[in-house]
Structures are given as structure tokens and as C-alpha cells.
Homo-oligomer: A and B are copies of this chain.
């Protein structure tokens, strides 16, 4: 096999550990210099390939690359750009080949979720459809935990840990003051289609009565009356009620709870937000004092409380991707395999990319309690191993030491510019 350069890109929403996968890819590629020349990272994801903006990772020191292991977000930049099919936008694929050829790129590592897996699959088919030899390996990443054929997705475990820890902490706060102050606390978390992240909040509870008392999943149609009744029952029984809601929570007809239906003086739709809308509902009905929090990016960037298991797995899929490439594979994705048995053990498996792309793994119904407001023991058994271990970053002057790369661009070789 002739020596070729590699292209690596980060795609879609970033996570606390996507850079750990980058670290796995780059460190492992450096161990296979016989097969892999340089690793070029796309500046802002696949857009970097289309624009011929390639970052030369060989300009980064071993220390800097190793620092990626504990640095959140996308060190090379990411983007939301879904490539259309070859038929719909042949120009983009031709451009990719042009750039790959100009920089002698034979390996394509794409680090993303479901949409990205689809792009990666299309790239993997370039050899056949357009006669350009490329091996495309997908490196799984998504906080949404919705990729199929892998037990879980790198990025999820750390969000899960953040949400579980934050829920337990905020719940202690509310519990300690509910006699004279806030009775209902609402935490809004990410998860537009699947309730995995909200489910993780369930790990905050250790015994009957512990928060969260109500979890709202996108998978369960929201019923105002049932919700309010449960809030009331909980406040009566425990003195307070903690609600964790997926941003994707919705009514039976598909209307999101985050839509307020209000317009301001200029006629603009008022963006209510799920948490304030739920709070208003509780206030209107019972007059309870409430507070709400929206974790938003804090949750997926929270490297300071990342799960060690998640960091290990994120690195491992990056490493495995390179090993698969060197072994001549194409159109595959390293995945995480959970061993049978009571004690949690995982290893890396291999999933065919055409079975991954565009398939969304939803929460199994048996992970959600019968009343739809909490998780079951089965969910707990699944989730708990994923938040094990604390992968603390190093600190300096009281702040985590996250690396910033030089991100030196490779000189362009093509005259043609390409508009993305």
C-alpha cells in the first residue's frame, strides 16, 4: 500500500471529548508513518476540504496534540454542512477529489453523528463512483447518543455525567430552601429527538423520592394535566419538585413545548423557551415559586466534569479508525461493544457504514417508567457505566488548561476557489 496523507474533520455539534478522538487519530497516525504521511485537519470541518483550508497537524507538538485529550469543543473547527447526494451536487464531490488529489490524501476520517455518517458513506463510495481511491472511516461522536450499532456514542457519557451531577446539586439546593422559597425547579437539557440526555438526569436519584421527580422525554407526548398533577403530588409529598426536560419535549400533535405562541410589539415570534414555558404553566396553576435553568452549551462543553469512560472511548474510536484504515478498510465505523455480564466491560467493534447512516436510535420504551415521567432500572443499568470516572483536566491559576493549537494552514495548491 503506498503511503498517503490523511484528512480528518470534525462535524456537527462539538462535545467535551471530540478532541479526544482527534487525539486518538493523530497520535495513532503518527505511529503508522509507513502508511500514513501527514494528517490534515479540515478547518471548520468538511468545509475546510472544499475550500482547501487544510490544517497541517504535523506542525503541532506531541504535547499540544496530547493536550487535545482534555480539551473540549472542536480544536480545528466544526460545521453543519450536509453533503447532498452525488446526483444532486456532483460539483462538491468533484471538488473533494480535486483537493484530495492535490494533497495526496488517501484516508478520510470523519468525526460526527448520523448526518456525518451519511456524508462519510458517500465519500467512501468515491472510489467506485468517481474512480478516486479513498478509504473513508467514520469516527462516531454525538451527545445525542442516537447512532445505531454502537452501544453508546462518545460525547454522550460526559453530558450524561454533567446533567446527573448538576441535577443532584441543584436538587439539594431546592430541597434545602423549599419550606419558604422555590418549590419547583426546572432544568432544560439538550435532546431534540431522543431523550437520552434527560434520562441521564435520572442517575441523580439514589432512592425513592429523590430528584429528579419528573423527566420529560421527546418520546412521550406531553400531557399538561398529567404533568401538573404529578408536580402537585410531588410538592405535597416531598415539599419540592425537580423537573428535567428535554428540549424536544412536545405535545401529541408535535408542537414543541418551547414554542410560546407569543409575538412582541414588532410582530416577531417570541422565543419562549421550554423551561420558562413550563415554569409559567406551574405558576399559573399553583402559584408555586419556581426557578429554571437552561444548560445549553455548558452541558456539552463541560470537559471539567467529563466522564473518564467517555474520554477513553472517544480516544479509542479515533485510534481504531486509523488502525482500520491501515488494515485496508473502507466504509466502516469503529463502535463500542458492551460485553455480556454484570460488570461493565467494553471493546471496540466494527460497524458497516451503510447500516449506520441516517438511522436514529431512540430510547427503548422499557427505559422509561410506565407513567412516562422517569427512567427504569434497565435504563439505569445501561447509563451508569457511561459516567464512571472523573477525567479532570490540569489546572493553572485556578482554570483548566485547555490547549489552543497553532492551526497552520497547508499552502494551497489549487488555483480554483470553491464557494461553500
Residues of A within 8 A of B (CB): 10, 13-14, 16, 44, 47, 71-81, 161, 164-166, 168-170, 172-177, 179-181, 185, 187, 203-204, 260, 262, 264, 266, 268, 270-273, 275-276, 279-280, 283-284, 291-298, 300-305, 307, 384, 387-390, 392, 395, 397-400, 402
By a CB distance below 8 angstroms, the chain B residues around A272 are 270, 276
- The verdict on A44 contacting B179 (CB below 8 Å), with A169-B303, A169-B304 known, is yes
Q: Is the CB of B284 within 8 A of A266?
A: yes
Task: Given A180-B44, A388-B397, A400-B165, answer yes or no on A270-B266 (Cβ-Cβ < 8 Å).
Answer: no
Q: When chains A and B are docked, how far (Å) is the Cα of A383 from the Cα of B170?
A: 25
Q: Do B268 and A284 touch across chains, with their CB atoms under 8 A apart?
A: yes
- Residue of B with least CB distance to A383: B398
C-alpha gap A279/B294 in the complex (Å)? 14
Q: Say yes or no: B168 contacts A399, CB within 8 Å.
A: yes
A297 partner, pick from B293, B397, B402, beta carbons under 8 A: B293
Q: Which residue of B lies closest to A18 (CB)?
A: B176
A260 to B166, CA, bound (A): 28
Q: Is the CB of B177 within 8 A of A77?
A: yes
In the complex, what residues of B have CB within 8 A of residue A72's CB? Answer: 169, 172-173
Listed A/B pairs (14) with beta-carbon separation below 8 Å = A73-B169, A73-B172, A73-B173, A73-B176, A74-B177, A78-B176, A79-B177, A80-B180, A169-B301, A169-B302, A273-B276, A291-B297, A298-B298, A304-B305
The answer for the CA separation of A398 and B272 in the assembled complex, in Å, is 34
User: Is there contact, CB below 8 Å, between A166 and B298?
Assistant: yes
Q: How far is the CA of A260 from the CA of B277 in the complex (A)?
A: 14
Determine whether the beta carbon of A14 is less than 8 Å from that of B173. yes
Residue of B nearest to A13 (CB): B177
Complex contact A390–B392 (CB within 8 A): yes
Measured between beta carbons, the chain B residues less than 8 angstroms from A390 are: 392, 395
- Judge whether A176 and B14 touch: CB under 8 Å: yes
B402:A384 contact, CB within 8 angstroms = no
Residues in B neighbouring A81, C-beta threshold 8 A: 180
Please measure, in the bound complex, the distance between the C-alpha atom of A180 and the C-alpha atom of B168, giving whole angstroms: 35
| Given A203-B398, A398-B388, residue A292 in contact with residue B303 (CB < 8 A) | no
Residues of B within 8 A of A304 (CB): 165, 169, 305
* Known A-B contacts A75-B176, A177-B74, A294-B292; A389 and B400 likewise in contact (beta carbons under 8 Å): no
Lowest 10 A-B CB distances belong to which pairs? A293-B296, A73-B172, A74-B176, A169-B301, A387-B398, A173-B301, A79-B180, A170-B297, A44-B179, A388-B398
In whole angstroms, what is the CA distance A260 to B264 when docked?
A: 9
B301 and A298 contacting across the interface, CB-CB below 8 Å = no
Complex Cα distance A271/B175, Å? Answer: 24
Docked complex Cα distance between A266 and B204 (Å): 36
CA distance in complex: A179, B44 (Å) = 7
Query: Closest residue of chain B to A270, judged by CB?
Result: B262
A270 is contacted by which of B280, B293, B305, B387 (Cβ under 8 Å)? B280
CB-defined contacts of A384 to chain B, threshold 8 Å: 397-398
Q: A172-B73, A297-B170 are in contact. Are A399 and B165 (CB under 8 A)?
A: yes
A301 surroundings in chain B (CB, below 8 A): 166, 169-170, 172-173
Residue of B73, B180, B398 near A175 (CB, 8 A) is B73
Most chain B C-beta atoms within 10 Å of own C-beta, residue among A164, A270, A300 = A270
Partner of A14, one of B79, B177, B185, B273: B177
Least CB separation from A76: chain B residue: B176
CB distance from A391 to the nearest CB of B (A): 11
